[in-house]
């Protein structure tokens, strides 16, 4: 039976008026309690709570159901993942409060309940007439919720009493409340409800002794009040908000330096220059990604980055003491390179997550407190307590941060779970996917249910709705081993002065329909992630490698852009159509280049490729003349053993004309489609922009160019492109590439956006010199952005119908925000995968290689080894080390001088690369100087590669 009650709110408007808001609230008396014991509810086939639950708790030995308070979910969510938990009641009050206070914990709780639905039961207490409670006048929302939780506990006990008549008292089921709230626990005991702290209950579970290690660390350490604080106290939230409002404080995102753990910066919206932070006190317990409140120092105390490369290299817990920082930071420039400098006075929002890494066991044999070293260098070490150190020290593990008291040098956390053995390839891959938040779970059944049945064929009805292009000589050009062939090309001569060219993209929008489980999964994943040895698909493999892969000699659905162009690449006509195609061949870049270069090949595909390549060169020249940038970043691929799947050789990826050819036509397709959908949908077109970098971004680049005698012009992209083309030295052929690498690092991040959220003047793509564009790479390279574009284009040409969210600029922008995040994380994951395989490659090798100095620091040289795309540091002097030779650092050049040898930016040197196995649980790539020879620093050159394993004869190419 339904009952109706009302919730009444008073709300103040912006104009000061007070509005009375009345909301109807329905109550029922037929909501099932979820217990198999119950004889009153009469529900069938939904039993979750056992009729005779077994208890492994020494604290509460009688049969019982557990009700968890909100603070348990907020602070001990990792504990709830254990199979120890059965017969758990999650109240609607707790769910709603968790959703409001922590989105991450709410999602995790939902996942736990979904995977263990037989052990967790959600009771909708807010809509049951006997458990709903009104908020009393003057009562806080938190106190009202605590009262609602206690009310539900009491109701359960009374409700089940009738069904337990005749049972022995010791066998009767009790309802126990787990809460960390002292006041709530005391009140529950007064009301006759058994209530315990979650940590004392967990410690009483005799069958799960290891579970207590997952307990979140206490927010206040024992005897903390008796210890000297190491950090300034954080300001109260009200004081922070007042300071921000008055302009005394600034808020922004904290970024920890990868090069110096004692430095960081805060990016403030609307300001070109970040705010520099130096030293423990100024960083004040901020963790990378936190939103912080910063107070600027007086201008006469502003400084610049110290130029020191510094890692927290403590191999054991140093205790709660902080080293003297004056020597480490004293050489920060005080001249013209100064930048705004400040200190963190408070944390507005923490961005803590779970971290992967390794354990540094305590030197004490029976010690339980240990240091955890995160894989991400920007995250500080974390103190955890565990009795499993002997086992965990050889494994990669996951740890969560719980708190960071003023009296503790490091944050406090707890062990979550182990991933696998250190050095194991599968474990290391799992680490890099987790660290970069790449969704890589198996596709759920609801998603797979959206896929077409096999065998699949194109129906005649579908052919009639499309343009039939199966007669055209279409081909694809991709990297070797590519199975997700998502684009193809064609060229034909219409007349001596008119050609037809076409770009054909796999029509994934035919299979991924809006608002389906498949669509939602693809939107969440955002992009396909390419690692060295595997691919994490955005859509199931049936689509990515089969039905949406333009395989040769198979009919496929496509979206085509077709142009009529002159021999001078002047576009005369553009049209868009959904099509059916049949590719003639899948070329690799090298195979396509051979077809172009071999005059004996006169087949139609070879002629088509030559025509495409000729037009592409003209198009590229036109773009470069307009100011498009040709930047650089080292790209390599691995030769992989077919027997062990480990890397056995590293090869630089060659850049052929065919690479550029494909890029030019994909770029042309992007611009053409962007103009068309923006014309039809000016408020919700999905575009990509590349903001103009602020001049301050170019300072390291300009200084590096000046050391080589070049005056570089960064006033515009065209001026920059001309400067880069002119910056050539015959005696250092790699120097121009190095300059382009540094220029790449000055660029802003290109981002997806909804056209209605940005002024048209800001649509410009700086790197490509394009006024409007969709994306900066392949039109369907496994990106959800491309799926949105396909849908918009289909509506624009009348090939499909629209839906509400597609035309809502706010919904589109939310999707774009996720796409930007996923795309950035995928790039980081790909780089980490290359680094991992480089690590594996050097497991049994020591090699001497050519390297170039990327930057000269006060205590180190940062070098690039082009063959491996690897960067490393050669330390000229370690902390507290006097054994190495003395160097004189000149920050104005910059350079390092030892005797008659001076090393500057871009100098070619020879280095020795190996795997540093000093600590088994923390191996890393080591780089040592070979040439020039500097006594006390350089190592001897090796004449042969030290390879303890024979190289297998069978090879396969890694993508």
The 10s digit of each residue's pLDDT in 821-872 is 999 999 999 988 988 888 888 888 898 999 999 888 888 899 988 888 888 8
CA torsion sign for 902, 905, 911, 914 is positive
User: What are the beta bridge partners of residue 911?
Assistant: 849, 929
Mean pLDDT, rounded, for 636-645: 74
Residues 524/787, Cβ–Cβ less than 8 Å: no
Q: How would residue 363 be classed by pLDDT, with cut points 50, 70 and 90?
A: confident
Q: Could you give the 3-state DSSP secondary structure of residue 64?
A: strand
Q: How much is the pLDDT for 320?
A: 73
Average pLDDT, the chain: 85
Q: How would residue 326 be classed by pLDDT, with cut points 50, 70 and 90?
A: low
Is the N-terminal amide bond of 464 cis, ω within 30° of 0?
A: no
How many CB atoms within 10 Å of residue 65?
25
pTM of the model: 0.82
Is pLDDT at 771 greater than 80 in this prediction? no
DSSP type of residue 546? I
Mean pLDDT, rounded, for 859-888: 79
Nearest 5°: CA angle at 745, between 304 and 937? 65
Lowest-pLDDT choice from 571-580, 745-754, 915-924: 915-924
User: What are the beta bridge partners of residue 401?
Assistant: 413
Residue 98's nearest CA partner among 120, 73, 66, 132 is 73
Mean pLDDT, rounded, for 165-190: 88
Higher pLDDT, 222 or 53: 53
Lowest-pLDDT choice from 60-64, 244-248, 756-760, 922-926: 922-926
Q: How would residue 880 be classed by pLDDT, with cut points 50, 70 and 90?
A: low
Mean pLDDT, rounded, for 285-309: 90
Q: d(Cα 577, Cα 561) in Å, to the nearest integer?
A: 7
Mean pLDDT, rounded, for 118-136: 89
Q: d(Cα 401, Cα 417) in Å, to the nearest integer?
A: 14
Instruction: Summarize pLDDT for 527-567 with one digit per residue, the tens.
Output: 999 998 888 999 999 998 899 999 999 999 999 999 999 99
Q: How much is the pLDDT for 229?
A: 87
Q: How much is the pLDDT for 321?
A: 75
Instruction: State what percent of residues in the chain have pLDDT above 70.
Output: 90
Q: Which two tokens stand for residue 312?
A: 């927290």
Q: d(Cα 880, Cα 874) in Å, to the nearest integer?
A: 16
Helix 92-101 with 103-115: angle, nearest 10 deg: 140
> In order of start, what are the domains of the chain with their CATH numbers?
5-199 (3.40.50.1010), 216-422 (2.40.50.690), 446-625+634-683+774-825 (no CATH), 845-931 (2.40.50.140)
Higher pLDDT, 629 or 490: 490
Instruction: Summarize pLDDT for 702-731 with one digit per residue, the tens.
Output: 888 888 888 888 888 888 888 888 888 887
Is pLDDT at 958 greater than 80 in this prediction? no
Residue that has been written with the tokens 């707890």 in this structure: 414
Q: How would residue 338 be classed by pLDDT, with cut points 50, 70 and 90?
A: confident
């Amino acid at each position: 039976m339904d009952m109706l009650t009302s919730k009444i709110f008073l709300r103040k408007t912006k104009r000061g008026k007070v509005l009375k808001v009345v909301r109807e609230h329905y109550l029922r008396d037929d909501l099932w309690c979820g217990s198999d014991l119950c004889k009153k509810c009469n529900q069938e086939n939904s039993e979750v709570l056992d009729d005779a639950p077994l208890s492994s708790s020494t604290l509460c030995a009688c049969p019982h159901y557990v009700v968890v308070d909100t603070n348990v979910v907020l602070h001990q969510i990792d504990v709830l993942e254990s199979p120890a938990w059965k017969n758990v009641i999650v109240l609607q009050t707790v769910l709603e409060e968790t959703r409001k206070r922590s989105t991450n914990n709410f999602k995790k709780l939902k996942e736990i309940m979904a995977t263990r639905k037989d052990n967790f039961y959600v009771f909708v207490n807010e809509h049951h007439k006997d458990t709903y409670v009104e908020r009393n006048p003057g009562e806080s929302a938190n106190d009202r919720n605590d009262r609602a939780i206690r009310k539900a506990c009491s109701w359960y006990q009374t409700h089940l009493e009738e069904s337990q008549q005749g049972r022995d008292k010791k066998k009767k089921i009790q309802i126990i409340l787990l809460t960390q709230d002292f006041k709530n626990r005391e009140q529950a005991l007064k009301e006759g409800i058994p209530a315990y702290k979650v940590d004392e209950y967990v410690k009483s579970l005799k069958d799960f002794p290891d579970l207590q290690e997952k307990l979140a660390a206490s927010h206040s350490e024992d005897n903390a009040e008796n210890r000297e604080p190491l950090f300034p106290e954080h300001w109260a939230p009200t004081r922070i908000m007042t300071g921000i409002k008055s302009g005394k404080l600034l808020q922004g995102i904290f970024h920890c330096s990868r090069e110096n753990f004692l430095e960081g910066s805060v990016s403030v919206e609307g300001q070109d220059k970040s705010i520099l932070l130096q030293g423990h006190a100024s960083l004040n317990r901020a963790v990378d990604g936190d939103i912080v409140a910063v107070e600027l120092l007086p201008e006469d105390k502003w400084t610049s980055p110290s130029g020191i490369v510094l890692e927290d290299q403590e191999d054991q817990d140093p205790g709660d003491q902080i080293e003297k920082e004056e020597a480490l930071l004293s050489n920060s420039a005080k001249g013209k390179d100064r930048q705004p400098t400040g200190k963190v006075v408070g944390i507005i929002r923490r961005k803590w997550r779970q971290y992967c890494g390794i354990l540094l066991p305590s030197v004490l044999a029976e010690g339980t407190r240990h240091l955890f070293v995160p894989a991400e260098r920007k995250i500080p070490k974390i103190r955890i307590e565990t009795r499993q150190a002997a086992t965990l020290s050889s494994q990669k593990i996951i740890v969560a941060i719980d708190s960071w008291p003023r009296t503790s040098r490091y944050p406090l956390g707890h062990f979550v779970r182990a991933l696998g053995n250190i050095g194991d390839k599968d474990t290391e891959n799992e680490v890099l996917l987790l660290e970069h938040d790449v969704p890589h779970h198996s596709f759920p059944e609801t998603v797979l249910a959206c896929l077409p049945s096999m065998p699949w064929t194109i129906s005649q009805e579908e052919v009639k709705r499309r343009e039939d292009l199966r007669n055209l000589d279409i081909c694809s050009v991709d990297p070797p081993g590519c199975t997700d062939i998502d684009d193809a090309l064609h060229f034909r001569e219409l007349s001596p002065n008119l050609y037809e060219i076409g770009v054909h993209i796999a029509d994934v929008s035919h299979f991924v329909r809006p608002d389906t489980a498949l669509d939602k999964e693809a939107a969440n994943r955002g992009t396909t992630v390419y690692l060295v040895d595997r691919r994490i698909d955005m859509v199931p493999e049936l689509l990515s490698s089969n039905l949406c892969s333009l395989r040769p000699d198979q009919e496929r659905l496509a979206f085509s852009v077709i142009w009529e162009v002159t021999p001078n690449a002047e576009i005369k006509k553009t049209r868009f159509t959904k099509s059916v195609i049949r590719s003639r061949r899948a070329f690799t870049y090298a195979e396509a280049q051979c077809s172009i270069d071999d005059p004996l090949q006169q087949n139609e595909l070879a002629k088509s490729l030559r025509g495409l390549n000729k037009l592409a060169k003209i198009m590229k020249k036109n773009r470069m003349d307009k100011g498009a940038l040709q930047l650089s970043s080292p790209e390599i691929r691995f030769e992989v053993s077919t027997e062990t799947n480990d890397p056995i050789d590293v090869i630089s990826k060659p850049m052929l004309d065919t690479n550029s050819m494909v890029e030019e036509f994909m770029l042309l397709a992007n611009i053409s489609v962007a103009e068309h959908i923006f014309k039809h949908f000016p408020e919700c077109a999905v575009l990509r922009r590349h903001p103009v970098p602020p001049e301050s971004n170019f300072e390291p680049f300009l200084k590096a160019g000046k050391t080589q005698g070049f005056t570089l012009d960064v006033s515009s992209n065209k001026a920059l492109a001309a400067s880069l083309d002119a910056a050539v030295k015959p005696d250092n052929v790699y120097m121009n590439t190095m300059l382009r690498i540094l220029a790449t690092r000055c660029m802003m991040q290109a981002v997806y956006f909804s056209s209605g959220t940005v002024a048209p003047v800001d649509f410009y793509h700086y790197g490509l010199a394009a006024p409007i564009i969709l994306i900066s790479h392949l039109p369907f390279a496994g990106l959800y952005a491309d799926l949105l574009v396909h849908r918009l284009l289909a509506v624009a040409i009348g090939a499909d119908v629209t839906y509400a969210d597609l035309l809502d600029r706010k919904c589109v922008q939310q999707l774009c925000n996720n796409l930007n995040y996923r795309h950035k994380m995928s790039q980081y994951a790909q780089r980490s995968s290359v680094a991992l395989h480089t690590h594996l490659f050097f497991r049994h090798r020591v090699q001497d290689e050519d390297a170039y100095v990327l930057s000269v620091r006060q205590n180190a040289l940062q070098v690039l080894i082009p063959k491996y795309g690897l960067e490393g540091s050669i330390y000229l002097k370690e902390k507290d080390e006097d054994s190495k030779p003395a160097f004189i650092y000149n920050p104005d050049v910059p350079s390092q001088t030892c005797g008659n040898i001076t090393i500057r930016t871009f100098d070619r040197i020879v280095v020795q690369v190996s795997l540093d196995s000093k600590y088994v649980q923390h191996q890393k790539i080591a780089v040592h100087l070979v040439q020039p020879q500097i006594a006390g620093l350089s190592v001897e050159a090796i004449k042969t590669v030290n390879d303890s394993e024979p190289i297998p004869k069978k090879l396969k190419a890694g993508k």
